[in-house]
């Protein structure tokens, strides 16, 4: 029995040595030993081999189902102005019926809240009907992958997550007791930065930052597309931000209260969130103080599946000040970073992230942007959204992400009606109504 305890103690000591000295300490100083890079390269080789093996297997076994095409239906091109004539015709009804049926079968909003389709199997699941080919070697590789992800990576990542969050709560609480000074601000930023770096290592995150000269500056507003709650960890690895959000209870509430003691994060009560003017006033006061950290805001208001950027709510662009756009794009081969909050709760989602291969992401800092003459907040928001979508290689959609849980606004319907009326009656006739 004593020998068993000795072995367990030796394993625990080795485990803590790896966690503390080979992962945590280098992460705290922003250093890398290159292990994650080698790990990603090995993964790429394995996934490429699996893809080639599946393609060869399909040729050898014609009975294996062929991959499904992208999308459920094939949409015909052409706008309303191109398809319909300048005069009313009864056949115009067919155009609207066709568009309506296309939206019912496969609308542009619903598909943005489901997992991104993969071009090749990433060895994380066998349920994707695009990748049904099975061979002995693929099965062995998949089984080894399950052991590595759940038996080695998950315990390691869970340990790092506990250490990182504990350090955040304890460190920010201690810093909060210090009087306001430049030293307190420096220590607060150091605590936040090291915590997020430890948590990122806990997800095997490989982050590529581009155009660092455009990083958000104090007194500004950082806006980014939103795929997952991990977006905060990804961005905060390269600099500190003041977070904006609603006050929560439970463990998240404990973290929020400890963070705000050392850093001017902006937390709102539920009743305050409904008061748009109160929110704008507090954010404007934060931006006016040029010594405070840049505010981090996700104007979409919900998570989108890493393929598109949906409508930016204009509230973030009514505050004033300089906007620093950031584009975030995850590599879906190593894991699905999208958080479908309607399907998974936070615990289930984090479990999926900690048992995926890795988090590989590109972050682009875009040049700062300001409101132009004659431009309102909505137009400014659309201009920033288009720049982010273009840089990240994402689809630029005008739809509101709130449609995930709500009904289509009447204004969208009226816009289509006005467009058709102007086409038939003519713009001059519309103006004289």
Q: What is the pLDDT of residues 185-219, one digit of tens each?
A: 888 888 888 888 888 888 888 899 999 999 998 88
Q: Are 349 and 301 in contact (CB under 8 A)?
A: no
- Position 432 scores a pLDDT of 44
pTM of the predicted model as reported, rounded to 2 decimal places: 0.79
Nearest C-alpha neighbor of 337 from the set 363, 364, 303, 308: 303
Residues 250 and 291 occupy one common structural domain: yes
Q: What is the pLDDT of residues 130-164, one digit of tens each?
A: 555 567 788 888 888 889 999 989 998 898 888 88
Residues 150 and 244 occupy one common structural domain: yes
Q: Is the pLDDT of residue 279 over 90?
A: no
- Identify whether 130 is part of a domain: no
Residues 310 and 428 occupy one common structural domain: no
Residues 203 and 336 occupy one common structural domain: yes
Banded model confidence at residue 85, pLDDT cuts 50, 70, 90:
low
Residues 161 and 46 occupy one common structural domain: no
Banded model confidence at residue 325, pLDDT cuts 50, 70, 90:
very high
Banded model confidence at residue 89, pLDDT cuts 50, 70, 90:
low
Residues 381 and 339 occupy one common structural domain: yes
Residues 164 and 230 occupy one common structural domain: yes
- Identify whether 255 is part of a domain: yes
Long-range contacts of 23-32 (CB under 8 A, 24+ apart): 23/156, 23/160, 23/201, 24/160, 24/163, 24/198, 24/201, 27/194, 27/197, 27/198, 27/200, 27/201, 28/194, 28/197, 28/198, 30/197
> Which residue segment(s) compose the domain that 421 sits in?
409-433
- Identify whether 229 is part of a domain: yes
- Identify whether 254 is part of a domain: yes
């Amino acid at each position: 029995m004593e020998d068993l305890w000795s072995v367990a103690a030796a394993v625990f000591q080795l485990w803590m040595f790896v966690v503390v000295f080979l992962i945590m300490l280098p992460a705290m100083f922003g250093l890398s030993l290159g292990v994650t890079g080698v790990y990603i390269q090995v993964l790429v080789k394995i996934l490429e081999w699996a893809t080639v093996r599946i393609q060869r297997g399909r040729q050898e076994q014609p009975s294996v189902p062929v991959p499904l095409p992208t999308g459920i239906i094939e949409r015909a091109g052409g706008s309303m102005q191109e398809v319909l004539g300048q005069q009313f015709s009864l056949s115009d009804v067919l155009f609207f019926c066709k568009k309506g049926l296309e939206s019912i079968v496969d609308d542009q909003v619903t598909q943005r809240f489901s997992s991104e389709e993969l071009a090749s199997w990433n060895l994380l699941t066998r349920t994707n009907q695009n990748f049904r080919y099975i061979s002995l070697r693929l099965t062995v590789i998949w089984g080894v992958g399950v052991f590595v992800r759940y038996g080695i990576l998950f315990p390691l990542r869970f340990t790092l997550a506990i250490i990182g969050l504990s350090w955040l709560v304890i460190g920010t609480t201690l810093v909060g007791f210090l009087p306001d000074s430049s030293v307190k601000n420096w220590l607060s930023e150091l605590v936040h930065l090291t915590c997020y770096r430890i948590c990122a290592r806990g997800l095997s995150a490989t982050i590529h930052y581009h155009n660092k000269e455009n990083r958000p500056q104090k007194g500004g507003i950082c806006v980014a597309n939103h795929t997952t709650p991990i977006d905060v960890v990804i961005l905060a690895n390269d600099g500190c931000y003041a977070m904006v959000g609603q006050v929560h209870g439970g463990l998240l509430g404990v973290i929020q209260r400890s963070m705000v003691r050392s850093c001017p994060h902006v937390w709102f009560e539920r009743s305050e969130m409904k008061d748009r003017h109160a929110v704008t006033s507090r954010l404007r006061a934060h931006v006016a103080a040029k010594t405070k950290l840049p505010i981090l805001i996700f104007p979409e208001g919900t998570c989108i599946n890493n393929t598109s950027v949906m409508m930016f709510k204009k509230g973030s662009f009514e505050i004033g000040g300089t906007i620093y756009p950031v584009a975030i794009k995850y590599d879906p081969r190593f894991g699905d970073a999208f958080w479908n909050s309607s399907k998974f709760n936070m615990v289930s989602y984090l479990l999926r992230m900690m048992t995926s291969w890795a988090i590989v992401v590109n972050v682009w800092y875009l040049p700062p942007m300001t409101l132009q003459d004659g431009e309102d907040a909505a137009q400014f928001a659309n201009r920033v959204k288009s720049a982010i979508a273009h840089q990240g290689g994402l689809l630029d959609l005008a739809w509101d992400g709130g449609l995930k849980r709500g009904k289509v606004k009447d204004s969208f319907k009226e816009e289509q009606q006005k467009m058709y009326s102007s086409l038939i009656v003519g713009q001059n006739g519309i103006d004289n109504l």
